[in-house]
């Protein structure tokens, strides 16, 4: 995060704009809408700024900028086409600890002006840190189409009940739950449909009938997919924003963890091979304890909870303690990683079946049903098999698969660090060792791997 996103109250505060052209006009209008007392320093003004001056909406100083113009200012914006003047404004403001923005020059700024979606009192600011203003503007245009203007009324009506709700619910968690339900329910729909008065009556009835009981706990078992945050489901995103606490594994990417509700407590459960921060039974009991405390618990797992994710064990424990829970499937590594590697798991010409196995080593051996794996026209997908790759390949060859059978190993599939190594059962272990791959990886064995060169479409830098 290069800039701290904040909203600054400049109502009735003196704010300085240096410049008298079209760019200065845009910044002046924005500051005026925020209630600022706008002062402009410039040897001349364009016609539209002259009109604002005649309407007594600005104070004008018809002279070149001098540091003394900053006295008493809350913030300053430099909007001239003279780099030397802009630099002088920036240096003078910084020397006086006054926030300064120099238009189109983030190196001279201590704050930047975002693209704004205005649904006052609801405000959305989008910024690229000055690196790509056009991208920020395009995102703003997209949000403008997604967020109805009626959200302004929705925020204002909710504000009218805020104090009443606070008095009704002594427990903070109950207040938050109440508002989450209200703003996603019938009240919001009424406001968006223009039925403001009916919405008020409905909200008042909801408030009168809602008790301030201790909140009920619940567990959300959510699959986070193979790593790319774009592959999360809508339901996963919604529950990630509702949770009070998140218990997450090592395979949950930082980008996905950032999408969890900001003030949710976070507990790392580990789940790295042979090194678990919490044992599985401890995790099971932790989920029970947190739910019994009235928490909404997000159990966030890489991939899918029910495919080598021990989700079944966790909800068995929850069921035995009568803890309510929801399960949200995720895109498992087999389908997600294979798709991003351009390797279809089934194909009419190469494979009519697919089997998933886990490649964890125990005592230097892997206890798998090799005869059922080493079959023609079948794709084998091996989770967590990097360390045991030589043994896996040897055993598949020993049980009947030709040593020339195509095989691939994919590192951190679907992400920008995706790396693919292809070869045969005979060559893949050495190729993977040379490539110095790191977990998590996925191994795919079968003739479908031949299609990788032809179908590969995702090529991260």
Q: Which residues are catalytic?
A: 249, 271
CB 246 within 8 A of CB 300: yes
Residue 333, marked binder:
yes
Residue 307, marked binder:
yes
Residue 155, marked binder:
no
Distance CA 24, CA 81 (A): 10
Residue 226, marked binder:
yes
Residue 196, marked binder:
no
Distance CA 349, CA 371 (A): 22
What are the Cα distances from residue 413, in Å, to 162, 369, 416, 420?
46, 26, 8, 8
Residue 225, marked binder:
no
Residue owning tokens 């904040």: 6
Residue 413, marked binder:
yes
Distance CA 303, CA 336 (A): 9
Residue 156, marked binder:
no
Residue 332, marked binder:
yes
Copy the structure tokens of residue 372.
Answer: 């059922």
Residue 104, marked binder:
no
Residue 303, marked binder:
yes
Binding annotation: 22-23, 43-44, 226, 302-304, 307, 332-333, 384, 413
Bind-site residues for NAD(+): 22-23, 43-44
Annotated binding site for S-adenosyl-L-methionine: 226, 302-304, 307, 332-333, 384, 413
């Amino acid at each position: 995060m290069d800039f701290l996103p904040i909203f600054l109250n400049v109502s009735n505060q003196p704010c300085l704009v240096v410049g008298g052209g079209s760019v200065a006009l845009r910044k002046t209008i924005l500051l005026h809408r925020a209630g600022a007392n706008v002062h402009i320093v410039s040897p001349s003004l364009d016609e539209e700024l002259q009109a604002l001056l005649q309407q007594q909406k600005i104070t004008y100083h018809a002279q070149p900028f001098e540091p003394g113009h900053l006295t008493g200012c809350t913030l300053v914006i430099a909007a001239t086409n003279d780099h030397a003047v802009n630099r002088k404004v920036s240096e003078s403001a910084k020397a006086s600890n006054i926030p300064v923005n120099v238009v189109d020059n983030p190196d001279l700024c201590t704050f930047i002006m975002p693209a704004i979606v205005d649904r006052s009192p609801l405000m959305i600011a989008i910024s690229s840190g000055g690196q790509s203003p056009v991208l920020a503007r395009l995102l703003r245009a997209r949000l403008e189409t997604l967020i109805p203007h009626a959200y302004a009324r929705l925020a204002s009506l909710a504000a009218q009940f805020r104090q009443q709700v606070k008095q009704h619910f002594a427990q903070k968690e109950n207040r938050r739950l109440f508002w989450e339900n209200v703003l996603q329910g019938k009240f919001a729909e009424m406001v968006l449909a223009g039925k403001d008065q009916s919405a008020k009556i409905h909200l008042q009835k909801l408030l009168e009938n809602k008790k301030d009981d201790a909140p009920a706990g619940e567990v959300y078992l959510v699959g986070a997919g193979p790593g790319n945050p774009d592959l999360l489901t809508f339901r996963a995103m919604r529950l990630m924003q509702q949770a009070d606490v998140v218990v997450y594994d090592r395979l949950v990417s930082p980008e996905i963890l950032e999408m969890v509700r900001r003030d949710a407590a976070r507990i790392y459960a580990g789940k790295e091979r042979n090194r678990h921060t919490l044992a599985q039974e401890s995790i099971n009991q932790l989920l029970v304890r947190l739910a019994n405390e009235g928490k909404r618990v997000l159990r966030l797992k890489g991939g899918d909870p029910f495919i080598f994710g021990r989700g079944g064990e966790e909800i068995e424990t929850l069921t035995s303690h009568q803890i309510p829970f929801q399960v949200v499937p995720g895109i498992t590594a087999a389908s997600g990683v294979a798709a991003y590697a351009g390797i279809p798991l089934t194909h009419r010409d190469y494979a009519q079946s697919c089997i998933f196995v886990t490649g964890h080593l125990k005592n230097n051996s892997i206890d798998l049903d090799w005869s059922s794996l080493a079959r023609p026209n079948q794709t084998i997908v091996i989770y967590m098999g990097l360390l045991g790759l030589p043994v896996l390949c040897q055993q598949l060859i020993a049980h009947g698969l030709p040593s020339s059978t195509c095989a691939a190993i994919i590192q951190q599939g679907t992400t920008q660090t995706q790396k693919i190594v292809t070869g045969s059962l005979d060559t893949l272990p050495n190729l993977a060792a040379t490539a110095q791959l790191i977990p998590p990886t996925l191994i795919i064995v079968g003739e479908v791997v031949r299609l990788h060169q032809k179908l590969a479409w995702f090529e991260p830098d």
